[in-house]
Amino acid sequence: MANENDTQANTEMSERESQARRTKIILISIIVLLILAIAALAVVSYNFIFMDKDNDAQVVKPIEDISGSDVKDTEIPEAARVKTTTIPDLVSCFGLTITEASARLGVDYQLTKTEEVSDEENTDIKQLATFTYEPLTKSSNTNSASSSTFGTRVKAEILNIYASLDEEGKIIELYYVASMDLLGYPTSDFASLVGTVDTFKGILKSAGIKAADFTYQAPEVDAYTTYVDPDAEIKRVKKQSFTLPGKTTAEAAPTAWSITITYDYNAETETTTTVQTESNRTIHLRLM
């Protein structure tokens, strides 16, 4: 009788343990399903929120009606401002026609003039073509309501490249005249500028010229200075200009070069002030 009771008790215990295990498995399954459901809901909510924002950002707004009187002057964007430039490779233009040289110089240089000429120094020159580089600088502020955008742009000093052509229409000489400010030269007194050969070597290199070896000796002040009144007690400088010629290493043109650096001062004979500023600083490079 005791054995039967023990067997029945063991059976009931096994059933309770089995039921407890099933209940535990069911609870774990429910918890896992709840976690998955919460995760799925979070993903759906995230996508819904951010896709809605993207759609709002992609909505094309209608173009506003702007009349001419509503357009105001603005400054030229920084990317459109050209304060300095560099000299193109002039040597590669020798022997080219005007059309070929224009393509070689690029769209920044516009053919602005062609004319028949006669040159006493070089009788082979029959025509002169002018290519002009004219950058734009920061806009002036006129606040004119009727002006269009960028309508008040101020043009910087231009850079002209002059091409001399023979009777076959081929370039045999080139020279340029440019503002030193436009070429990016910092403010410097004339004596310091012509006091080193590096200034001239840099000018030659910028135009693609390989100069033959030469010795350089800085000139004396009186050799390049013109005074307003040479006999005045206080001499005021009117202009300073110095020219340095030389040869290239090439057997074909250009075989020679000449550089002229000029400072023109704002000097008047009527004034007695000794304060002077450069009104025009230019470089003239000629290739022959």
DSSP string, 42-63: HHHHHHHHHHHHHHHHTPPPPP
226 pLDDT higher than 70:
yes
The residue with greater pLDDT, 272 or 186, is 186
Q: Which helix (H) or strand (E) holds 170?
A: none
Nearest to 284 by CA among 87, 120, 83, 137: 87
CB 129 within 8 A of CB 98: yes
Query: pLDDT band for position 190 (50/70/90)?
Result: very high
What tokens were used for 5? Answer: 């009771």
* Most confident region among 150-159, 201-210, 255-264 by mean pLDDT: 255-264
Two tokens at 284?
Answer: 């003239």
Q: Which two tokens stand for residue 92?
A: 């590669």
Neighbours of 150 (CB within 10 A): 14
CB atoms within 10 A of CB 101: 25
- Return the DSSP state at 228: S
Q: Are 80 and 135 in contact (CB under 8 A)?
A: no
Lowest mean pLDDT among 97-111, 150-164, 217-231, 246-260: 150-164
Could you tell me the end-to-end alpha-carbon distance of the chain, in angstroms, rounded to an integer?
134
Q: Kindly report, residue by residue over 54-82, the tens digit of the pLDDT.
A: 444 444 333 333 333 333 333 434 433 34
Per the CB < 8 A criterion, the answer to whether 135 and 82 are in contact is yes
Q: Under the phi-then-psi rule, with left for phi > 0, alpha for psi from -120 to 50, and beta for the rest, what region is 85? A: beta
Task: Count other Cβ atoms within 10 Å, centred on residue 227.
Answer: 14
- Cα angle vertex 86, ends 253, 198, to 5°? 75
Question: CB 200: neighbour CB atoms within 10 A?
Answer: 22
For all residues of the chain together, what is the average pLDDT? 76
Beta-strand relationship, 127-133 and 159-165? antiparallel
Residue listed under structure tokens 């995760």: 39
Pick the range with the lowest mean pLDDT from 79-88, 105-114, 138-147, 185-194: 138-147
* DSSP letter for each residue of 230-283: TTSSS--EEEEEEEEEEEBS-SSSP-EEEEEEEEEE---TT-------EEEEEE
